[in-house]
Structure formats: structure tokens, C-alpha cells
Structure 1
Amino acid sequence: MSTASRVNRGRAAAAQNRTAILAAARAVFAEHGRTASMTLIAQTAGVGQGSLYRHFPTRSQLIHAVYEGNIAELEALAQQDVSTVDDILEALYHQLTLSAAFIAVLDSADTSDRHLASIRGRLRNLLSDKLSDRRQRGRLREEITTDDVYITLGMLAALLHQVLPHQRRGTAEHAWGLLLNALYR
């Protein structure tokens, strides 16, 4: 009688498991929001719950790791000499549209979470750096400030927070078009 079971690959699989968990969390949070089941995330990642909790003992730590990945992507894009504010806004638009979880980063009402505050600060700095360089402003109107861009993104995030997941993409496209008309020449 043979019993099929998963082979425990031990420490060698730790980095792969972490990567799989983060990818699964990003996908699951995008579809179900920050309250998504940790069991669903583990199943989607193809790992056991023990592995999930070994890497991320709390939901909050997992959410923060997903946020960290999002902001790191934006920072990497911003570091490219050829990137402009246009590129950053496009990337942010896609992150907000695809991820119900990332919307919370722009929710300024939550001031108790230091990690979120840090990510908000990094986002503001990234936008400010791009806006301070004339070449990197892209087509953005001269009078538009970092605060204006941040408010615009916050308006989009607040709107997307109110709609059902299946309505998010269409609503985002329409709202984003309206907002871009206000920001660009």
C-alpha cells in the first residue's frame, strides 16, 4: 500500500515558498481584499498553512509584505533614468485597479499603522522627486504639485474601494480618464 504525500524539501524551498506565498497573496488580496482567507492564500501558493505562518506569522505582516513589493516595483521604475511621472502614474493606476489591498496605502484615514505611513512617505518622495525634475514631469501641467497628484490617486482609490470587484476595471478606466484630463495639458 503506497501513500502519496508531499515531499518536505525543507530549507531549500524556503525562498521559493516565500515567493509563491507573496504572489498568491497579491492575487488573492486583489480579488477578495485584505480580509481574504489565509487558508485560500496557502492553497493558492501550493504550501501548507504551517509554511505560510512560518514566513508571515500574522495577516498584517503578509499584507505589509505585499505593500512592500508594490512600492519596491514603483521605486525600481522611478530609478530608471528614462522613467517619467507618466510612467509612475500608469504603474500606480494598474496597481490600484488590480489590487483592492493596495488601495489602503492611499487611505490617509489610517494613521495608526507605521508601516503604511512609511510606504505613503516613500510614495510621496518618489512622486516629489519625479515632479521636481522638468524632464521627468512628462506631460503633467506645470502647476500640478505632489499633493495634487496624491489627492488624485486618493480620489481614485476611494472610488475603487466603493465598487464591487467586477466593476473595478471599468470604473477605474472611466475615472482615470477624467482625472488625467485634470492633470495633463
Structure 2
Amino acid sequence: MTQPPRPDERRSPNPGPKAAARNRAALIAAAREIYAEHGLGAPLSAIARRAGVGQGVLYRHFPDRAAVAAAVLEENVREVEQAAAAEGATFEDALGVLSWHLTESSAFISLLHADEAHRRAGTSETRGYARALSERVERALRGRLRPGHRLAAADDLMLAVAMVSGAVTGPTREEREDRVRAAWRLLAVEVGPVRPFAR
């Protein structure tokens, strides 16, 4: 006959949904870092290791490589939206967060070239998804754009973003940040601190 466990032997309660949410957030953060270091072809096992979880946990949240990339892109866009919506935020603040994402993610750069991607081969679902995310970025930035700003004309804002994103090159994050700042400077556009959105 088995004895019930003594109070000091009982298992801690299953953290359930809280652990799942933490694991998902850790996987997205790890994927962003791994993709910045090794590109979109990096092994999923490296993402799981960086997040401190097993591959089974990764696959419970993301069935394939495309789902991981989509989650990272969605999070990038959400952070730009949050930066633009934050109380007291300026266009320059939101542009600084966008610029940080440009220095971190080649996939994010591709997303912001949705018009170009639309003309290229690819599934209509992929093109539609990229276009929708790109439009969200534009709406967020336009919400903070002052009347009369040099990028206020219809196509100027996202054209400038595309031009700056094309300049974001370099093997280190510091070099990419220097390039993004120099590109905005050449366009005579002021940008806030190049950093992630601080919640």
C-alpha cells in the first residue's frame, strides 16, 4: 500500500499556462537573437537551446520554421506599434524602435519590402501576410508623424524606410546601427534612440 506523500515531499503545482507563455516568449526572443547571428537558416535546435527549453517545447508552440519566423516578425511589428502608441511617444521614438529591429532582423527588412515581395514569386498567402504586417508598421509610424514632416507625403514614409533598410549591412550590430543612423542622417530625418521597445 502506498503512503500519501508527506507535505515536504509534494510536487510543486504545474505552472500550466504561465509556463507556456514564458516558454513562448523565451523562444521568440531566442529566435530573434539566433536569426540575427546566423540568418533564417539557423537550426531550430539552436533556438530551443538558447531559450533553455527542449525541442519538443519548441514544436508545441511552432510546428515548423515558418511559424517561428512569423512569430518573430509579428512580435517586431507589435513592438513598433507599442512604441508608437506609448504615452508621450514621438515619431522619432517609434522610428528608433523600428531602426533597432532593422539592425536585428534581415527577415524584418524583407517584410518592409512587401511591395517588392508582392511582385516576386511566392504564395498569395505569404504575400498577403507580409503586406498586412508592413501596412501595420506604416499605420503605427504615420500615427506619430507630424503634419508637414518631410516624410508626410503618401509614399515617402515607407520609401524612406525601404531605403534605410537597404543600407543596414555589417557583420556586427554596432556597424549595422552606425549604418542605419547614417542613412537617416542622409535623408535629413531625425531618429530617436536605436533600442528595443521598453515595456
Query: Normalising by structure 1, what TM-score?
Result: 0.78
- What does 1:28-67 correspond to in 2, within 5 Å? 28-67=34-73
CA distance in structure 1 between the aligned counterparts of 2:154 and 2:34, rounded to whole angstroms? 31
Counterpart residue type for residue 110 of structure 1 = A
Find the aligned partners of 2:38 and 2:153 in 1 and give their Cα distance: 33
Q: What does residue range 125-164 of structure 1 map to in structure 2 within 5 Å?
A: 125-131=139-145, 134=147, 140-141=149-150, 144-160=152-168, 163-164=169-170
Tell me the residue number matched to 2:195.
none
Does the aligned pair in 2 maintain the 1:64–1:115 contact within 8 Å? no
Distance 1:44 1:76, change over 3 A: same
C-alpha distance 10-49 of structure 1, shift in aligned 2 (>3 A): farther
Give structure 1 regions of 4+ aligned residues with deviation exceeding 4 angstroms. Answer: none
3-state DSSP of counterpart to 1:101 = helix
Structure number with higher helix proportion = 1
CA shift at 1:50, angstroms?
1.2
The corresponding residue for 1:118 is 132
Preserved CA contact (<8 Å) 1:30 1:101: no
Structure 1: any 5+ residue segments left out of the alignment? 1-8
Q: Secondary structure at the match of 1:52?
A: helix
Once residues 143 and 22 of structure 2 are traced to their aligned partners in structure 1, the CA distance between those partners, rounded to angstroms, is: 34
Instruction: State the partner residue of 1:93.
Output: 99
Which residue does the alignment assign to 1:27? 33
**In the alignment, is residue 72 of structure 1 matched against residue 78 of structure 2?**
yes
Count residues in correspondence: 166
Q: RMSD of aligned C-alpha atoms?
A: 2.2
For structure 2, the 5+ residue unaligned runs are 1-13, 119-123, 191-199
Counterpart CA distance in 2 for 1:28 and 1:175 is 25
Of 90, 95, 100, the residue aligned with 1:84 is 90
1:126-160 residue CA offsets vs partner (Å, 9 max, x unmatched): 223323x54xx7xx33x632521211110121222
User: Cα distance 1:173–1:77, how it changes in 2: closer, same or farther (>3 A)?
Assistant: closer
How far apart, in 2, do the equivalents of 1:11 and 1:63 lie? 25
Indicate the SS of the match to 2:143. helix
Amino acid at match of 2:117: D
**Larger displacement relative to structure 2 (44-53 or 145-154):** 145-154
